[in-house]
A = this chain, B = another copy of it.
Amino acid sequence: MRDVADRAGVSLGTASNVLNHPERVSAAAIERVRMAIDELGFVRNANASTLASGRSGALGLVVINLSNSMFVDVARGAQAAARAAGHNLLLADSADDFGAQGDNVDSFNEARVAGLLLAPMQDSSEHVARLKARQTPVVLINYDQGDDNLCTVVVDNEQVGYLAVRHMLDIGCRRIVFAAGGDEYYQPVRLRRRGARRAMREAAGAASFEEIMADGVKEADGLTVARQIAGRGPDTRPDGIIGVSDSLASGLVEGLSEAGITVPDEIAVMGCDRNSSAGDCRVPLTSIAMKGQEMGAAAVRLLLDEMNRDGDHVHQRVVLTPELIVRGSTVLP
């Protein structure tokens, strides 16, 4: 910083103000300091105190799949919270590849980030161990691996399934289908299924409940389920279908429409993970908000607490409440 001030021909205080309080200095001083910075290749560190530890001031976020807009929301929330605290956020996308997730974790370890947020889709104890080995604080997002030695932020996915069935009952559905696949891979699918069953048990006979096993959670899987349902006689079709993901629900709407079955008039359809990248849907899809931004923000707060309070930090499991969003695929305007 002294080098910059000397080169710019200003005081150390002025140089510092250019970076931290530009409103206090003249435009000419800003320009001189900027030029000096460029000439020297000086790199500002948002959090000088962390430099002492040999770490950068940046936080890292590794998400399993950035094509799922929920993780873009997580990044947005995390970034706003990080910047508010004077830290920058760097991201890495694992593109559904667990090996890539490991490489991303290693890259951030190597970059000496001050802390890491990890949003996986499966148990990642192995990657967490690599971070712990370098004393890098880590917070898990959207996956609970039952580890009490770190902080975890999730949405209550059991409540997601519960809210979905409750909504279908509330709008008068009497033959409800829950369409889902991938239980063996996806923690949210297992939990949403459990919540849906609980809501049906509580409703005790108010409606019939059928679970259709799809091959996965993608649009193509929803298309397949829709065609199976369209192949039934009208009397044996459901009047409400819950797709465990918005992608699957989009496929359901598409498949039913192709077969001439109108949504929501003949069959109401909803998804479970409000997702702006679920593909195009012919009708606005009722779904459940997964609180991505809130998860990202909460995770940053926990990470900063662990970074800054060190020995005093108490690991927490934060469970956020999902929220029903009613739209045209279940309720006529």
Instruction: Name the CB-closest residue of B to A66.
Output: B72
Question: CB < 8 Å: which of B34, B111, B129 contacts A56?
Answer: B111
Judge whether B72 and A88 touch: CB under 8 Å: no
23 inter-chain pairs at a CB distance below 8 angstroms, sorted by A residue, are: A37-B130, A38-B133, A39-B133, A43-B106, A44-B103, A56-B107, A56-B110, A57-B110, A58-B107, A58-B111, A66-B75, A67-B76, A69-B69, A76-B93, A83-B103, A89-B92, A90-B104, A90-B111, A111-B111, A276-B276, A276-B280, A277-B277, A280-B285
Interface assignment of A41: CB less than 8 Å from any CB of chain B? yes
- A46-60 with Cβ < 8 A to chain B: 46, 56-58, 60
CA distance A40 to B104 in the complex (A): 18
Count of this chain's copies in the oligomeric assembly: 2
Which of B45, B69, B88, B106 touches A92 (beta carbons < 8 Å)?
A: B88
In the bound complex, residues from chain B placing their C-beta under 8 Å from that of A100 are 83
Q: A103-B46, A126-B34 are in contact. Are A92 and B93 (CB under 8 A)?
A: no
* Residue A261 interfacial (CB < 8 Å): no
What is the CA–CA distance of A126 and B37 in the complex, to the nearest angstrom? 11
Which residues of A come within 8 Å of B, CB atoms?
Answer: 34, 37-41, 43-46, 56-58, 60, 66-67, 69, 72, 75-76, 79-80, 83, 88-93, 95, 100, 103-104, 106-112, 126, 129-130, 133-135, 276-277, 279-285, 327
Q: In the bound complex, do residue B130 and residue A38 qualify as a contact, i.e. CB atoms below 8 Å apart?
A: yes
Given known contacts A88-B104, A284-B280, A41 and B76 CB-to-CB distance under 8 angstroms? no
A110 vs chain B, min Cβ distance (A): 5
Q: How far is the CB of A289 from chain B (nearest CB, A)?
A: 14
Instruction: Assess whether B75 is in contact with A90, with CB atoms less than 8 Å apart.
Output: no
With a cutoff of 8 Å between Cβ atoms, the chain B residues found around residue A104 in the complex are 88, 90
Is A93 in contact with B110, judged by CB distance below 8 angstroms?
no
Q: Which residue of B lies closest to A62 (CB)?
A: B90
- Docked Cα-Cα span, A34 to B110, in Å, equals 17
CA distance A43 to B133 in the complex (A): 10
Q: Which residues of B sit under 8 angstroms from A57, Cβ to Cβ?
A: 107, 110
A-B complex: 7 closest residue pairs judged by Cβ atoms:
A41-B133, A111-B111, A91-B91, A41-B134, A88-B107, A276-B277, A280-B284
How far is the CB of A56 from the nearest CB of chain B, in Å?
A: 5
Residue of B nearest to A78 (CB): B93
A93→B88 CA distance, assembly (Å):
10
Query: Nearest Cβ in chain B — how far from A299, in angstroms?
Result: 16
User: A269 to chain B: closest CB distance in Å?
Assistant: 14
Contact indicator A130/B41 (Cβ below 8 Å): yes
A285 to B108, CA, bound (A): 39
Q: Which residues of B contact A276 (CB under 8 A)?
A: 69, 276-277, 279-280
Distance in Å: Cβ of A260 to nearest Cβ of chain B = 13
* Contact A75 B93, beta carbon cutoff 8 Å: yes
User: Which of B40, B83, B110, B134 is in CB contact (< 8 Å) with A58?
Assistant: B110
> Within the assembled complex, what's the spacing in Å between the Cα atoms of A108 and B90?
8
- Complex CA–CA separation, A135 to B111 (angstroms): 18
10 more A-B residue pairs beyond the given contacts A38-B126, A282-B284, with a C-beta to C-beta distance below 8 A: A34-B126, A56-B107, A57-B110, A58-B107, A88-B103, A88-B106, A89-B93, A90-B92, A90-B104, A282-B283
